[in-house]
Structure formats: C-alpha cells, structure tokens
C-alpha cells in the first residue's frame, strides 16, 4: 500500500462536491504532467489512502481523506476537442493520459499549508518542498500517520 496527496482546485472539484457525487466517487481527470500520470498509471492501487488537498484557492490545504477506488484507465477528457484537457496527440488507440477514481472516506477540518509547515515531522513532505508543483505526490507512511493524528 502507498499513500498519496492529490490536489484539486475547489472551483473544479471540492471535497464538498465529492461528498455530493453519486457513490461519492470521482475520476481524477485532467492531469497533464507525466510524472503525476505515471504515479496514477503505474503505482496507485485500489485501497491506497489519499489526502484530498484543495489548491489554487484562498486557503490551500488538506480538506479530507479519500481512497483510490479504481485502477488507472484512459482519461476521456483527452479525446474531446471541446474540453480544456483535450490533447490532439492522443487517440483511443494510443491514449497519453490516464486517471484513477477516488472515493471519499471523510471530510476533515482544513489542515492548511501553514499548519503543515509548522511541524518538523513533515519537513520532508513533497508538497512542502520549494518548487514542487506536482498535483499528485507520494506521502511517506509516517507523514500520513502524523497528519491523521492531527485531524
């Protein structure tokens, strides 16, 4: 089992949106970074715990817990010319982009970036590293357990 932090812009899909979705599950679509894609495609497994992180908003931070509920499959948005995630180099025969589904475990209090930075136990967490812009990052099991103990 691996642990993950997955960023979502609340204006696109928030933790509250996820809670309101059928079966409280959502495809993690629109990832257009090869390293993040590879995490989903090659490493994520059903049951892997996820820290659901709100990004690009007034108060970024961990907003809830989720779990990977479906293995990677082609991201349908890459094939739709009307979609902002369209990729003209992708085809159903040769997809370039993949997503997993995640399912809500629970909404939590918001653990904002300042609070994350205040704990020396989280100093090596990828989201806290200078220049990190990945939307999906692995989380060390000890970091995950520490965060859970603070929720």
CATH topology of domain 3-140: ph1033 like fold (3.10.590)
Helices assigned H by DSSP within 1-151: 15-20, 34-38, 113-117, 141-150
Stated as kind and residue range, the H or E segment containing 86 is: none
Whole-structure pTM value: 0.94
The per-residue pLDDT for range 26-78, each reduced to its tens digit, is 999 999 999 999 999 999 999 999 999 999 999 999 999 999 999 999 999 99
Question: Where along the chain do its domains lie?
Answer: 3-140
Q: Indicate if the pLDDT at residue 102 is higher than 90.
A: yes
- Mean of all residue pLDDT scores within the chain: 96
pLDDT for res 133: 84
- For the chain, give the percent of residues with pLDDT over 70: 100
pLDDT for res 130: 87
């Amino acid at each position: 089992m691996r642990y993950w932090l997955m960023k979502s812009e609340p204006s696109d899909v928030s933790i509250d949106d996820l809670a309101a979705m059928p079966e409280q599950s959502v495809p993690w679509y629109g990832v257009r970074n090869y390293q993040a894609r590879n995490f989903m495609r090659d490493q994520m497994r059903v049951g892997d715990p996820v820290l659901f992180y709100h990004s690009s908003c007034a108060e970024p931070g961990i907003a809830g817990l989720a779990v990977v509920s479906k293995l990677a499959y082609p991201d349908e948005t890459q094939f739709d010319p009307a979609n902002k995630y369209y990729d003209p180099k992708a085809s159903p025969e040769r997809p370039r982009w993949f997503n997993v589904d995640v399912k809500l475990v629970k909404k939590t209090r918001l653990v904002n970036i300042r609070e994350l930075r205040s704990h020396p136990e989280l100093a090596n967490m990828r989201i806290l590293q200078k220049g990190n812009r990945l939307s999906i990052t692995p989380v060390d099991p000890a970091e995950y357990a520490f965060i859970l103990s603070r929720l």
